[in-house]
């Protein structure tokens, strides 16, 4: 696969859909609903205790087929990831996400070395951070596999794949490991501190590698600190765990150079894949205070507490489920990413409306869902959850009403089917029975999007639409919610389909994009609504609910559409549509104790319901639907 293809896959992968999947996962794992997750393209991953920032393409691992294949061979798993860059991005991202989540769970923030009295120079701060890095990374791996089920494979793949990606030669696993250590042993070019850190990093984080003896200059320091690293990495109390960093620092202090530039962390990328979390000077998001949890460690990632290798694990069943989940999520992500707003243009003469709409253009738009509204939508849902559940309970009983059905070809019954009078067995009778079933109804809510709806009315209509949608969706009732407006100074009417019939779930976020501007032209909009509900639903009963705060008014710059012309035209449209079988009911949004809007709309619609309290709008909407179903 070419670099261009891989770049395209990466660009598509870093969509908000996948970001939200990882954010939701992080919130569940950390048990903190305020955790945020972000994608970047800076070849690093880090957290400040509140936000997790990940580059899915860190080290370009997702396109390193050799490294991915070697990791799969080492872990004895099928080639799910080396064969598919998208799957590779998913498991790499999830591995990094889990890594940072475990830091949030078990690491103290701000990082303790920043306040350590030993941090008197930049070089000493770097030394403390590197030691702390190794211990913390090893510890969270131990904690992850000790406490949680089903994340071990992500931690292992994350570690092993990065190891292979940073290895200069390819071959069998043992050859790769041996060549890497031999090459480092043969040519000593690093400052002593980095040589020591690299050695201890491999020792603690990559126990599958058999290390050569350390070089003479650091051998004594390695000997004195090995046990401290081992004990620190399984210490379950954060403050006590940092004490091991301090003890190690005090022992290896003579190795610390005066000039911090000699401590080049880039040379440690072999062992410290996501070291940027630990440096303390890279967090672009304000760090919060967070006390890491205490935990009892029962094992290490690749071994038990005594250093004995863990038994070989069969991950095939688990990975089949993961792979199937990735496939579904990829299809959904691609549909959303590639989804474009759909517009359809009509003109007045496309409907059998009056000639005053002949040159008016009507633009029907199905907007792209805006996931920025997800959190706000959820907050509204949570606020009205009790109301939603209450309405659902009422509908449960109503929907399971008795529906009349007709049974044909009977020898006896309540009526005769003349078409079957020639039946030689005299089976021309029919009878009507009742059985439990769902009434057949489709609902289209047409919301006034004019400027007079601004403020409380717009907000009331939005909240009521959300509750209505949640209830009707739960009950399986076909419905659509549309805002309409006519643009002043133009021969233009806009219809935004916020929730469509058989809508995808994410369309509901469009309900928060309800606006209030310009005027309306219901005499045309009603014909569109009739055509739309007739063309897109097969239910026997069809209902249009109009939510409005006044009579239609509009001017295209040449001609004005105002009362009494607009009211008479809309009334004629409503009568014609109702006679053709589609019911129309209007809800008049009035000021408290005033019914001027109700009086105005009574001149337009045969059936009008007054709403002078916006808190009652939701109940009125649902009562209309339930009444038409009863």
**Cβ atoms 470, 389 nearer than 8 A:** no
Cα torsion through 427, 431, 435, 440, rounded to 10: 100
Give the per-residue pLDDT at 183.
Answer: 41
Q: Is the per-residue pLDDT at 281 higher than 60?
A: no
- Output the pLDDT for position 398: 66
Asked whether residue 595 carries a pLDDT value surpassing 90, the answer given is no
- Confidence band, pLDDT 50/70/90 cuts, at residue 187: very low
Q: Which range (167-171, 559-563, 573-577) has the least confidence?
A: 167-171
Q: Please report how the helices 316-338 and 85-106 are oriented relative to each other, as an axis angle in degrees rounded to 10.
A: 100
| pLDDT beyond 60 at 186 | no
520-551 residue pLDDT tens = 999 999 999 999 999 999 999 999 999 999 99
pLDDT band at 409 (very low <50, low <70, confident <90, very high): low
User: Quick one: pLDDT at residue 2?
Assistant: 76
The CA distances from residue 440 to 421, 526, 618, in Å, are: 31, 22, 22
Is residue 327's pLDDT more than 50?
yes
Confidence check: pLDDT of 319 > 90: yes
Structure confidence at residue 434 (pLDDT): 61
**What's the confidence (pLDDT) of residue 283?**
44
The least confident of 120-129, 257-266, 468-477, 502-511 is 257-266
Angle between helices 16-30 and 85-106 (to 10 degrees): 30
If one compares 185 and 155, the residue with the highest pLDDT of the two is 155
Q: Is pLDDT of 282 > 50? A: no
**Residue 436 clears pLDDT 90, i.e. is over it:** no
Mean pLDDT computed over 177-181? 46
Of residues 168 and 147, more confidently modeled: 147
Of 208, 229, 111, the closest CA to residue 156 belongs to 208
Overall fold of domain 342-399+439-629: Rossmann fold (3.40.50)
Token digits of residue 391: 């309405």
Taking the C-alpha atoms of residue 448 and residue 361, their distance in angstroms, rounded to an integer, is 18
Average pLDDT over residues 412-427: 71
Q: Tens digit of pLDDT for each residue in 54-79?
A: 999 998 999 999 999 999 999 999 99
Q: Report the distance separating Cα 616 and Cα 347, nearest Å.
A: 36
Cα–Cα separations (whole angstroms), residue 87 to 162, 322, 329:
16, 9, 10
pLDDT at 585 over 90: yes
* pLDDT (average), residues 338-365: 93
| Range in 20-34, 389-403, 481-495 the model is least confident about | 389-403
Residue 175: band (very low, low, confident or very high) from pLDDT cuts 50, 70, 90: very low
- pLDDT at position 628 is 83
Please determine, for residue 177, whether its predicted confidence score (pLDDT) is greater than 60: no
- Is the N-terminal amide bond of 110 cis, ω within 30° of 0? yes
Say what the pLDDT of residue 433 is.
67
DSSP 8-state class, residue 169? S
Can you give the residue ranges of every domain in the chain? Answer: 3-331, 342-399+439-629, 402-436
The string of pLDDT tens digits covering residues 191-218 is 899 899 999 999 999 888 888 999 999 9
**How does residue 182 score in pLDDT terms, banded at 50, 70 and 90?**
very low
């Amino acid at each position: 696969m070419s670099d261009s293809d891989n770049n395209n896959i990466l660009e598509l992968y870093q969509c908000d859909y996948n970001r939200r999947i990882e954010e939701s996962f992080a919130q569940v794992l950390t048990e903190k609903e305020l955790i945020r997750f972000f994608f970047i393209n800076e070849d690093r991953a880090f957290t400040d205790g509140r936000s997790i920032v990940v580059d899915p393409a860190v080290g370009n691992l997702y396109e390193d087929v050799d490294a991915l294949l070697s990791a799969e061979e080492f872990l004895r798993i099928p080639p799910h990831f080396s064969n598919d860059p998208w799957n590779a991005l998913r498991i790499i991202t999830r591995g990094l996400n889990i890594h940072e989540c475990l830091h949030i769970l078990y690491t103290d923030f701000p990082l303790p070395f920043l306040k350590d009295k030993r941090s008197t120079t930049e070089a000493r701060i770097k030394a403390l951070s590197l030691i702390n890095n190794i211990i913390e990374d090893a510890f969270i791996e131990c904690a992850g596999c000790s406490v949680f089920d089903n994340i071990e494979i992500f931690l292992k793949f994350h570690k092993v794949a990065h190891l292979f990606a940073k290895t200069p030669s390819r071959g069998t696993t043992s050859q790769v490991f041996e060549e890497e250590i031999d090459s480092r042993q043969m040519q000593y070019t690093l400052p002593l501190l980095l040589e020591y850190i690299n050695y201890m990093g491999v020792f603690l984080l990559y126990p599958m590698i058999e290390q050569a003896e350390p070089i003479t200059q650091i051998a004594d320091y390695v000997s004195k600190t090995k046990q401290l690293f081992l004990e620190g990495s399984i210490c379950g109390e954060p403050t006590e765990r940092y004490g091991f960093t301090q003890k190690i620092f005090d022992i290896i202090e003579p190795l610390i150079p005066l000039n911090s530039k000699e401590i080049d962390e880039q040379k440690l990328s072999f062992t410290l894949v996501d070291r940027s979390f630990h440096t303390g000077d890279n967090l672009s998001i304000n760090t919060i205070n967070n006390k890491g949890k205490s935990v009892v460690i029962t094992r290490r990632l690749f071994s038990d507490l005594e250093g004995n290798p863990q038994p070989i694990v069969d991950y095939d069943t688990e990975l089949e489920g993961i792979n199937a989940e990735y496939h579904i999520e990829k299809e959904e992500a691609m549909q959303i990413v590639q989804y474009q707003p759909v517009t359809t243009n009509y003109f007045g003469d496309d409907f059998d409306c009056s000639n005053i709409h002949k040159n008016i253009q009507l633009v029907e738009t199905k907007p792209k869902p805006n996931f920025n509204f997800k959190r706000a939508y959820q907050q509204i849902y949570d606020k009205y959850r009790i109301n939603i559940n209450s309405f659902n309970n009422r509908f449960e009983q109503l929907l399971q009403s008795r529906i009349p059905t007709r049974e044909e070809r009977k020898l006896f019954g309540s009526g005769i089917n003349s078409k079957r009078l020639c039946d030689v067995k005299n089976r021309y009778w029919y009878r009507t029975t009742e059985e439990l079933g769902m009434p057949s109804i489709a609902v289209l809510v047409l919301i006034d999007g004019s400027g007079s709806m601004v403020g409380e009315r717009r907000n009331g209509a939005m909240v009521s639409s959300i509750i209505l949608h949640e209830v009707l969706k739960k009950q399986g009732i076909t419905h659509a919610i549309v805002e309409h407006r006519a643009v002043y100074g133009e021969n233009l009417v806009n219809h935004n389909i916020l929730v469509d019939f058989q809508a995808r779930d994410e369309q509901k976020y469009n309900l928060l994009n309800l606006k209030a501007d310009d005027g309306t032209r219901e005499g045309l909009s009603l014909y569109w609504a009739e055509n739309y509900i007739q063309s897109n639903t097969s239910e026997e009963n069809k209902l249009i609910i109009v939510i409005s705060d006044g009579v239609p008014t509009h001017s295209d710059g040449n001609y004005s559409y105002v009362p009494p012309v607009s009211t008479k035209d809309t009334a004629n449209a409503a009568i014609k549509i109702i006679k053709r079988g589609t019911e129309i009911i209007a809800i008049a949004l009035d000021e408290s104790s005033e019914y001027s809007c109700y009086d105005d709309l009574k001149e337009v619609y045969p059936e009008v319901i007054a709403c002078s309290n916006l808190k009652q709008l939701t109940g009125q909407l649902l009562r209309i639907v339930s009444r038409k179903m009863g």
